[in-house]
Amino acid sequence: MRLIIKFSSVEEPVPISYFLNKFTIQGFFYHIFLLSEKLKYKHEEKGIKFFCFSDVFMKDNYYYILFSSPSKEIINEVYAVLKKLKHFYIGYRLFKKESVKKINIKLGKKIRWETGSPVVVYYKNKPFSFLKDKEWDVFFQRLKENSIKKFEIFYGEKVEIGEIFDRAEFKKSVAIPLQKDERKFLIFGSTWKLLEKSYIGKNERKFYKFIMDAGLGEKNSLGFGFVNQIKE
């Protein structure tokens, strides 16, 4: 399940580049967690956090961000907190909440996704970059292994799948600037025009629904690996 959050700047508009540092957006969601009795210790937990968010985008002078999670509790609590808020800070800027809506996307017999934020996959202890690493098979194998690992941790059950996707259209490699405290660094990822599985059986739908909500690849709770369904 996911939320779509619509907001506007209280002062002068800020450029989309303001939201590039994913730690700034993650900090906003952790603040939301702190306002919930059920989630306020979530950011201190070790291991996978099981939520993801898209890049911020603009439409008609409003900002939008999508937030997703396979956990109904996380979705419901974030929704409840945001419904009560009129304003919030992202970084040092004050924004007005315009609306927050729940979206439950049902999967059919096939999936056609595009990325809503870069996908990060680690290979040989560093982020895989198509600028240097040319092995597509390695990328998709690591993507599959990571997705299975997260699914099995979340549900406590085994899952077996074949190729994670049977068709893909690469968009570009990206280097995202990050800053945490005084430390600045880049993380490499990739964006995709299309990630398609032409047929998913009933026994696979739970898996694909999970990775759509949890995010693809690694560093999902930092806003990487968000996917959207392509409208037919």
Say whether 141 sits in a helix, a strand or coil.
Answer: helix
Based on the residue annotation, tell me whether 31 is a catalytic residue of this protein.
no
CA distance 155 to 197: 22
The whole-number pLDDT of residue 105 equals: 87
What would the pLDDT profile of 37-94 be if each residue is shown by its tens digit?
A: 889 887 777 788 899 999 999 999 899 999 999 999 999 999 999 999 999 999 999 9
Helix or strand (DSSP H, E) at 167? strand 167-180
Given the residues 18, 31, 41, 43, the one annotated as active site: 43
Q: What is the pLDDT of residues 212-227, one digit of tens each?
A: 999 999 999 999 999 9
Q: Are strands 93-103 and 87-90 parallel, antiparallel or unpaired?
A: antiparallel
Q: Which helix (H) or strand (E) holds 6?
A: strand 2-9
CA–CA distance, 110 with 199 (Å, rounded to integer): 5
* 43 is annotated as an active-site residue: yes
How many distinct helices (H) and strands (E) make up the chain? Answer: 4, 12
Provide CB contacts within 8 A for 220, sequence distance 6+. 48, 49, 50, 51, 52, 214, 226
Q: Of the residues 18, 30, 62, 123, which is catalytic?
A: 30
